[in-house]
Amino acid sequence: MLNDLYQIVDLDELDPMFDEVARFIVQNQQGSTSAVQHRFLIGYNRAGRIMAQIEAAGIIGSVEGSNPREVLIKDMVSLEMLLENYTYCSQSEELLLRRKKNEEIQRQQWIEEQQRLEREQIVYKIKERHRIKQLEKIIRQELIDSGELFGEQPKRPPIPKEVVDAVYTRDGGRCVYCGSIQNIHIDHIIPFSKGGATNVENLQLLCQKCNLEKSNKIG
Ligand SMILES: [Zn+2]
């Protein structure tokens, strides 16, 4: 029982009485647990724990049979130096703890940053997918318009070349909304699916961007 106690020594958590008991022992050059108990009015278990700490700190020797423990530190100056060293150690322990805490905070910030980046990537992917879907819609319509692809329900016949030419000439080869000459194609003003005719009056030139905006408004 006693021996078990002596083996569990944590010098990082010194008993608050550690210094005082150590001084008492070195001053009297006597390493007796019961003397410590009586001098400091503490219980047997606590006295045992302090003695174990004092032994682990190298101030007293171990228990050998019924002989009194040897006091290894012979004078107070040596003891004070040793105690100072222990105080120093517990201070650097505190520094270490603070550093550990900072590392933990940094790690947490790193994780949050990673999650933010991951979210950004997902948002980008979703937007990109949406953009491609919209483009597909337009290109499909273009393919249907040009006769390369047959539309769904009301199959739209290809626009006659002379009608396309007339619309192109009338609109000057430019998007009637923004004047762009990029990605120009023919658009039904009243959509074909809503009964709009395929004639010069109901057709106009639109760029891809303006057509996208128009089809988004119509839905
Ligand atoms: Zn345009």
Report the pLDDT value the prediction gives residue 91, as an integer from 0 to 100: 60
Give the mean pLDDT of 77-86.
86
pLDDT value at 10 more than 50: yes
Distance 210 CA to ligand 1 centre (A): 4
Distance 175 CA to ligand 1 centre (A): 5
Distance 133 CA to ligand 1 centre (A): 19
DSSP notation for 49-116? HHHHHHHHTTSB---BTTBPBPB---SHHHHHHHHHHHHHHHHHHHHHHHHHHHHHHHHHHHHHHHHH
Distance 199 CA to ligand 1 centre (A): 21
Report the pLDDT value the prediction gives residue 153, as an integer from 0 to 100: 52
Distance 149 CA to ligand 1 centre (A): 24
Contact, 95 vs 103, CB < 8 A? Answer: no
Report the pLDDT value the prediction gives residue 148, as an integer from 0 to 100: 74
The confidence band for 89, taking pLDDT boundaries of 50, 70 and 90, is low
Distance 98 CA to ligand 1 centre (A): 61
Residues 61, 72: Cα–Cα separation, whole Å: 6
pLDDT value at 143 more than 90: no
Q: Across all residues in the chain, what is the average pLDDT?
A: 85
pLDDT value at 67 more than 80: no
pTM for the model: 0.39
pLDDT digits (tens, 9 = 90+) for 147-161: 777 655 556 678 899
Give the mean pLDDT of 98-119.
89
Report the pLDDT value the prediction gives residue 151, as an integer from 0 to 100: 57
The two structure tokens encoding residue 143: 């393919």
Report the pLDDT value the prediction gives residue 7, as an integer from 0 to 100: 45
Give the mean pLDDT of 84-101.
72
pLDDT value at 6 more than 60: no
pLDDT value at 31 more than 80: yes
Distance 24 CA to ligand 1 centre (A): 95
Distance 191 CA to ligand 1 centre (A): 17
Any idea of the CA torsion for 111, 112, 118, 120, to the nearest 10 degrees?
-160
Ordered domains of the chain (ranges, CATH): 2-74 (1.10.10.10), 131-218 (3.40.1800)
Give the mean pLDDT of 72-100.
79
